[in-house]
Amino acid sequence: MVLRQLKPYTVLITATGETPITLVLHPTLLGVGIALLLGVPAAWITALTWHNRQLAHHNDTLTETATEILTELEVIGSEIEVLKNRAGLPEEDAWDAVTPAAQATPQGGVAPVAPAATLLESAKQKMPGLEATLSTTVKPALEAQLASEAQQKAAFPRGKPLAGALQISSEFGLRLNPFGQRSYEMHDGIDFAGPLGKPVLATAEGVVVKADYDSGYGNHVRIDHGYNYETLYAHLARLDVKLGDRVRRGAVVGYLGNTGRSSGPHLHYSIYRNGQAVNPRYYLKLEDTE
């Protein structure tokens, strides 16, 4: 309304010797022109600023994500160290694979694009190393370690050589000579009284290194379990294994008897560790956890 009351502007452009050019500018058109001249750059600047803010936000998010990825990689690296330790592999003095170079190097300028890109590049470089360590070093070592432990566990004498409740007739250690002489002897095992013919069971996996008769132990079986463990089952009525047989835990090695230097039907059971007889009491209590 105000513009309508204004008179048009007349601009006269003259040059010496030339016909003057007269421009009549209507206020409304002038207003539109000024608005366009000022408004378009303003809108453009606003749009640019908004766009830059979006970019900055995007870059911040990217940097955050990259940092998270690197942190995760660091955690994975530590977990791999734990697995290596479990697998019996030597520990590394410094696992420096995860410290991003971007954090160590001072970054100039204001653009947050560089750190994110550097961090992501750093993460990308760490990945194959971690993967290779896991698949070529840790995994095989861990499998071998677990297999060895399973073998060792199977070789460890556990539980009872006879089924059912045990009736101990003579403990491990010094005892009076059971054959009436007034002297002490070292009893290097435990005797279990039982009915003739009751199956006698191997208490761990191993190889039969003796399946024989002698005047002392009568019919007896000795099993080498590896890992410096051996067990002996003596005074058997009959043997059920022969030299060189591989037996599993719980396998019948023979039958309870009264052969050799024996004062009645019983099983003499010995455990040897590094060639020395140990008290089987502790091993008897170990339950079958398989």
Please, which residue, 126 or 266, has the CB nearer to Zn ion?
266
**Dist. CA 129–CA 82, nearest whole Å:** 16
Binding of Zn ion by 191 (CB under 5 A): yes
Report, in Å, the least distance between residue 150 CB and Zn ion. Answer: 32
Please, which residue, 136 or 263, has the CB nearer to Zn ion?
263
Total number of residues binding Zn ion (CB under 5 A)? 3
Report, in Å, the least distance between residue 271 CB and Zn ion. Answer: 12
- Residue ranges in 258-277 that form contacts with Zn ion under rule CB under 5 A: 268
Kindly report the three-state secondary structure assignment for every residue of 184-221. EEEECCEEEECCCCCEEECCCCEEEEEEEEECCCEEEE
Please, which residue, 145 or 169, has the CB nearer to Zn ion?
169
Please, which residue, 191 or 205, has the CB nearer to Zn ion?
191
Binding mask 228-257 for Zn ion (x = CB under 5 A): ------------------------------
DSSP the chain: -HHHHSPPEEEEE--TTS--EEEEE-HHHHHHHHHHHHHHHHHHHHHHHHHHHHHHHHHHHHHHHHHHHHHHHHHHHHHHHHHHHHTTPPPPS---TTS-HHHHS---SS-THHHHHHHHHHHHHHHHHHHHIIIIIIHHHHHHHHHHHHHHHHHS--S-SSSSS-EEEE-SEEEE-TTS-S-EEEE-SEEEE--TT-EEE-SS-EEEEEEEEETTTEEEEEEEEETTEEEEEEEESEE---TT-EE-TT-EEEE-B--SS-SSSEEEEEEEETTEEE-THHHHH-----
- Residue number with the smallest Cβ distance to Zn ion: 268
Report, in Å, the least distance between residue 216 CB and Zn ion. Answer: 10
Report, in Å, the least distance between residue 256 CB and Zn ion. Answer: 13
Please, which residue, 155 or 221, has the CB nearer to Zn ion?
221
Please, which residue, 226 or 260, has the CB nearer to Zn ion?
260
Please, which residue, 46 or 167, has the CB nearer to Zn ion?
167
Binding of Zn ion by 220 (CB under 5 A): no
Binding mask 161-190 for Zn ion (x = CB under 5 A): ----------------------------x-
Report, in Å, the least distance between residue 234 CB and Zn ion. Answer: 7
Report, in Å, the least distance between residue 191 CB and Zn ion. Answer: 4
Give the footprint of Zn ion on this chain (CB under 5 A): 189, 191, 268
